[in-house]
Amino acid sequence: MDVRIVPKTLRGSVTPPGSKSMTHRLLIAAALGGGVSTVENVSFSEDIEATLRCLTALGGRWERAGGSSLRVAGCGARPFGVLPRFDCGESGSTLRFFLPIALAVCGGGIFSGGGRLLERPLGPYLALFDERGIFHEQRGGVLTVRGSLTPGEYRLPGDVSSQFFTGLLFALPLLPGPSRIVSTTEIESRDYILMTADALASAGANPAELLENPGFFAVSPFAYRPFIRTVEADWSQAAFWYAANFLDCGVKLDGLNPNSIQGDRIVSDLYWKLARPGNTVMDVSSCPDLLPPLAVMAAFRAGETRFTGGARLRLKESDRLTSVAAMLSALGGEVQELPDGLAVRGKPRLAGGTVDGASDHRVVMAAAVAAAACDAPVTILGAEAVSKSYPGFFDDYKRLGGEVHVL
């Protein structure tokens, strides 16, 4: 789907969808327990649908409980034997979370996905599997793992993705003895691990015990128990409406928790940092998903913004440093791609033009917001990519007064 956006000032109120990151975690915690849990305010994006498919493959059951609520029945123990198949779509979270879970619950699995999913880094897991004699093979776009996790120490780098830690934090409590996870580097995006601990706490874990050691995570066996939780609104998606307000729109954001443990709540502070004129440097290593909307803000501010710490962005749905730079350049912005970031020099207005969405939901949403302050219409190719995380984005955009034409 290609869309053409006519520049219009956006005004009105919007409630971002439920946090995709927390929804993944709560659904998995619900599936690993006994009984039936209820997770409310679920946004049925393509990534969440991938996690629901994998819950079913694992042996869990789920049903809609009206509106945006889901009831999830735990999968229980499964005999080792025929490996289940896990279709992860294009969801890196789903793949990285379920790999160790599948080993702990049913002795492995056969994992597939679309887009660049199986090109994204799995090295920290594969190194652990080699150490522990766990079979793994990637062939023909399919990854097969087979073996058993055992209690003990798991060492892995913290500067690739916090998702590897989350997968182990879900799987290790299912083992018969205590374990610990040791990071061999400083952990980036640690707030996502705090979100995992919060989801585990809903299912009966003791988060204080889990997080009490600064150098590692101690994991004790426990039985996941059922719970009821409402998913908070997503600060990662709210960031695009913050960017709209930076461009002199008047978007009121409802439903956000200012005290949320979501790390991307920092967008509210970064917004004001960018509002001050002059050259500035911004490290996005702890909030890489914010780079696209922050780059849009930078493209319209007075001064140059250098984004650093974003090397991991090259391994997302697109090479997000290249695709964001190309998007801003196509609209008439001044941007230079750096090895681990971008240098963006702001201008009062951008010209408009045609943008390749790069099959990347965050690039598409960033381009749509930038269109509000362009001199001419903006055409976005592949705009359907928003379904990956925010299926209702263009509906909300139009409710705010945006003019969107499907081509």
Q: Which residues form the catalytic set?
A: 289
CA distance 173 to 199: 13
No. of H helices and E strands in the chain?
13, 21
86 token code pair: 């896990």
Close Cβ partners of 269 (under 8 Å, ≥ 6 residues apart):
none
401 token code pair: 């007064």
Q: At 388, give phi and psi (nearest 5°).
A: -60, -35
- The three-state DSSP-derived secondary structure of 347-361 is CCCECCEEEECCCCH
Q: How many residues does the chain have?
A: 407
- Smallest CA-to-CA distance from 369 within 334, 405, 407, 328 is with 328
Alpha helix locations (H) across 118-220?
Answer: 123-131, 163-171, 190-202, 207-211
Which DSSP letter does residue 130 get? Answer: H
CA atoms within 13 A on the CB side of 335: 27
- Smallest CA-to-CA distance from 215 within 242, 187, 188, 238 is with 187
- Which residues is 73 bridged to in the sheet? 36, 61
CA distance 196 to 166: 6
Q: At 41, give phi and psi (nearest 5°).
A: 65, 50
Cβ(232)–Cβ(21) below 8 Å? no
Q: For the chain, percent helix, then strand, then coil, each to nearest 5?
A: 40, 25, 35
3-class state of residue 71 by DSSP: strand
CA distance 34 to 219: 20
CA distance 258 to 353: 36
Which DSSP letter does residue 386 get? Answer: G
